[in-house]
Every structure is written in C-alpha cells, then in structure tokens.
A and B are shown apart, each in its own frame.
Chain A
C-alpha cells in the first residue's frame, strides 16, 4: 500500500469515528473531545492490528466525495455554519445515486452485452469510451459550479486526487464513488423523493 493510500484510509477512519462520536452533541468543545477520542480509538490495536488495518480490509477505497461530505458534516456540527446548504446535499445524493446505478449493476455482470462501466475509469484502456465518464463528470461539475453549487468543487477535488493517484486504485470511479457513499445516496435520494411527493 502506498503511503498516500495508507494516510487516505487512516484519515477516512478518523473522520468516520469522529463523525459517529460527534452525533451526540454539537459545538466546538464536544468536537475537540470527539476528535481526541477518535484519535485514540483509531490507534488502539484490535487483535494485534491497528483499526486502520481492519478498516482497509473492509473499505478498499474511500471515495473523495464521501470523505469531504463527512468532513463538512463534522465542521457544520462543530461550528454551526452551513458550508453545504440543502442544495449541495441534494446534489451529492443525486450524483451518488446516478453513479451507483450506472456502475454497480454492470460491475456485477448484470450489464448490457458485456458492457462494464467500471472500465471507463481507466482512460488509457479505451480513451474514446472513457470520455463518456470523464465528459459526464466534467459537465456535471461545470454545471454545478456555474449554478453556484459547491458540490461541483467536490467533483473537481476527486479529479485532482485521481490525477495525483492518492488512492491505491488507478480507476477514476474509485475516486468518485464507493459502496458506502452509493448506499447512503440511494437512501437519501429515496427520502428526497418521498418528501417531494
């Protein structure tokens, strides 16, 4: 595992722990207590290995949007300042839902005529075909930024992280989406739909 992937997963685990602990109470004081507890818990060995070791065993690649959404959620709860408004959260859930529906069925072999959406995330494999993925994300990011929706910058951050190969994966999809983000997005999108109807 590269050092950047190692730290990426370590940060992911810390933020996830912090987010869970911080659910109990908002404000800066509780943030610092939660951060301290999360930092300690994330280094206490379990069965001879660090929690990060176990976290990496179940979470192959934590996506950039998930990490940023968790960080924003933590910040908002601590500061009380809404970095992401309702429309940013909605954009995140809609993006996660569309991406998950586009990716996972074909990854499971349930695609159309051997089409595998995941292969579009390797631009050097089939450059023209992969323009479908990169072009769609570029248009989405551009549109969101033009509309003043900050989630557009999250997609830009995912592309920048991919360019720097921060994760173990060299597939663009893994920087955009992971199963946890996909599952949360699907649930949130269903909730959005129910609220509207």
Chain B
C-alpha cells in the first residue's frame, strides 16, 4: 500500500480530474436560461386580412402531417412536414416547400428520407417524423426531426440539420442525445421560443413509459451545437407543450392532455423557463390533440384548439385571451366537417405582425393560413354582435 501522503495526493488528483469538465463549463453556464426574446411589435394594419390555401394540393401520399413554418430574414416562408403512406411507415419522408416574394408556394420536395438518414447517422432508421424549422440571426435554417428506430413514436430520437441556402441543401443530420435510456422518445412539435442570446428554447416531449413535456435548450456554437434538456413536468398525461413568452422572465406553457379531463393544461414560469409551475386545467377544451399558442404583438394570446362535441378533431378553432390566459373567447372556426380531421396547428408571428399558420387537413393536406390583428378584431366584434 502506498504512503498516506501519496494516497491523499492521488485521491485529490482523481477528484480534480472528475471536476475538470464541470469547472471548464462555468463561463458558459453563466449564460444559462438567458431569458426569452420578445418580437419587435410592428404597427398594426388597419384593414382586415385573411388568406388560406393548401400548400401540397397534388400530394399523392395518404398521410401528410405535423407541419412547421419559419420566416426567413428576407421575408421568404419555408414550410416542412412529414408525408408517406401512414404514421411511422417506412416510406415517410420530410417534405419542404417555400414561398417567395411572388406569394406562391413551390412544389414540395423531399429533403430527408430514412435511407439517407440511416446512412448519415450510421444507425437503423425505420421511419421519420415531426420536423421543426427555425432560423438564426445569420439566416441559417435549422431543422429538428425525429428518426424512429423501432415501433412508433416511443422509439424516436431527435436529429438536427442545418441549411445555409433556405433549405436547398442540408448538412448531415446530427443525433442529439437527450435521454439516457437508449436515447429514445424525444419529439419536437411546437414552435421554438427565441432567447435573448441567440439560442432557442424548443418545447419537446417524451412518450416512452410516461408522457411529459420538456424544453430543449439549443445554443449555436462554433463548431457544432450545444443542446440540453430541462423538465417542465413529470407524470403520464400532459405533453406536447406550446410555450409563449410573456416577458423576458415569464413564460406560459399550454399542454395537450390525454388523462380524460378534456382541457388544455396551463403552467407558468417566472424564472426564464428554468422551472415551471404545476399545470392546471384551463377553460380551453382539449380532445387529446395538439394545441398551439401565440402571443400577438399587442400582448393578447391566441390559441388554436380542436373542440368537437364528439371529442374528435372535426373542427379547428381560434381562441383569444386578453388576460394572459385567464379567460378565453372563441373568435373563429378555421375548419369544420364531420368525419374529417383538422389538427396539429402551428403558428408563428411574422415580422409584419401577421399570424402565419399551418395545420393538417383531412390527414393528407397541409393548409397555410395568414391573417392580421385587424381580422382578429373583426372576428371579436362579430362574435360580440352574435352574442348580443
């Protein structure tokens, strides 16, 4: 046995090596949870505007779902979704379309297929799904999407790819390790919240044994990307969070619920997204389907929900709140038809203050809708009149 002095020295050295990576990270950690970035509020338009169109009218796939949308610095819109013969099918691919200055959507094209992703990741990939687009300050386009190794969504893991030419070409996807149990079951769904340091807080969720919401914190680094996850809630029922920033410090999360309450759950954070309060049932309905919320430039909150009496997804409605989610009022029904599905709304606020939205229609079509606050006010006025 070595002398006590030598043993003590070795023990200290061993402890110091283990602590080294923690110590090295202290400068970067100082910028953790930097705060939410609020969009600059443009002047409100006076004339109501609303337009709605299908962006994949000729799509031959029997399933097109989970649309995502982003506005580039030059005003171009880029949309992506997954399409194939069915959820989790081997032929599912990630499709992309963009809308230029002429206002027309380009022919959708495939940007990722499972075979190419499997080759890039050096792993078996059974299917793809849930794309999510975002841009950084240098107009680089980021894409998160899941690759499913086996089974359905519980067998998925998340990948990140970048494009410097608005989605024409992409880097090899990089697998993000977000879970210690085989890195399974992390999925994105709703728009990321930009952070004041140029990073993003991406609402994601897990559905392995339990279902729960999380935030994926992404920071661009040179080289690579730094990604880490913080938990929003535990349990088995609330998931698919949609997060809106109320201020740099405060956020409000909207959760899909499958526990049978029939309500959207809300939870707040007042420490820049680090911790989240207990979710409470709101007056917004939920038929175990995805919801998406948005903060308008005037501070009111908009939420897209399904509210079919038969608890299916036969309609898609917009609700408005002027008191940070305490009370809600329906202002419009975007789609409604018996025995059809209108679901997975995705909303972003454009630089001009207009709401830009995607949703899945009839399981096969991706619908784009655009409207301004004047149109919202008009809907509010008309619903008031209808009540009186």
Contacts and interface: CB of A to CB of B under 8 A. Distances in A.
A124 B234 contact: no
Contact of A124 (B2, B12, B28, B122): B28
Nearest to A158: B18
B18 A134 contact: yes
B284 to A, nearest CB: 22
A163 interface: yes
Interface string B1-36: 110000110111111111111101110111011000
A6 B179 CA distance: 19
Given A108-B210, A124-B226, A145-B11, A53 B231 contact: no
A1 interface: yes
B230 A142 contact: no
A53 B124 contact: yes
B52 to A, nearest CB: 38
B123 interface: yes
Nearest to A111: B234
Interface string A154-189: 011001101100001111111001110000000000
Contact of A60 (B122, B124, B183): B183
B14 A116 contact: no
Given A125-B29, A127-B25, A127-B32, A114 B232 contact: yes
B211 interface: yes
Interface string B288-319: 00000000000000000000000000000000
Contacts of A56: 122-123
B282 interface: no
Nearest to A141: B14
B180 to A, nearest CB: 5
Contacts of B231: 111, 114-116, 119
Contacts of B230: 116, 119, 125-126
B90 interface: no
A53 B119 CA distance: 9
Interface residues of A, number: 64
B177 A170 contact: yes
B217 interface: yes
A68 interface: no
Nearest to A152: B14
A91 B268 CA distance: 43
B103 interface: no
A156 B226 CA distance: 24
Contacts, number: 172
Nearest to A49: B124
A118 B180 contact: yes
Interface string A105-147: 0011111111110110011111100110011011101111110
B62 interface: no
A109 B236 contact: yes
- SS class, residues of chain A in contact with chain B: helix
A124 B250 CA distance: 21
Given A107-B179, A179-B182, A124 B32 contact: yes
Contact of A104 (B7, B10, B180, B227): B180
B362 interface: no
Contact of A57 (B12, B149, B181, B211): B149
A148 interface: yes
A124 B212 CA distance: 23
A131 B8 CA distance: 22
Contact of B18 (A116, A127, A141, A170): A141
A153 interface: yes
Contact of B212 (A58, A109, A131, A156): A109
B41 interface: no
A192 B202 CA distance: 44
A54 interface: yes
Contacts of A67: none
Interface in B101-130: 121-124
B260 interface: no
Contacts of B157: 60
B342 interface: no
A159 B179 contact: no
Given A134-B21, A146-B11, A170-B226, 9 more contacts: A6-B122, A54-B124, A58-B182, A60-B183, A109-B235, A119-B228, A127-B29, A171-B177, A174-B177
Interface of A: 1, 6, 49, 52-54, 56-61, 103-104, 107-116, 118-119, 122-127, 130-131, 134-135, 137-139, 141-146, 148, 152-153, 155-156, 159-160, 162-163, 168-174, 177-179
Interface of B: 1-2, 7-8, 10-22, 24-26, 28-30, 32-33, 121-124, 149, 157, 175, 177, 179-183, 206, 208-212, 214, 217, 226-236, 274-276
18 contacts: A53-B124, A57-B123, A104-B180, A108-B208, A108-B209, A109-B211, A112-B234, A119-B230, A123-B22, A127-B25, A127-B29, A134-B19, A141-B14, A148-B1, A168-B175, A169-B183, A173-B180, A177-B180
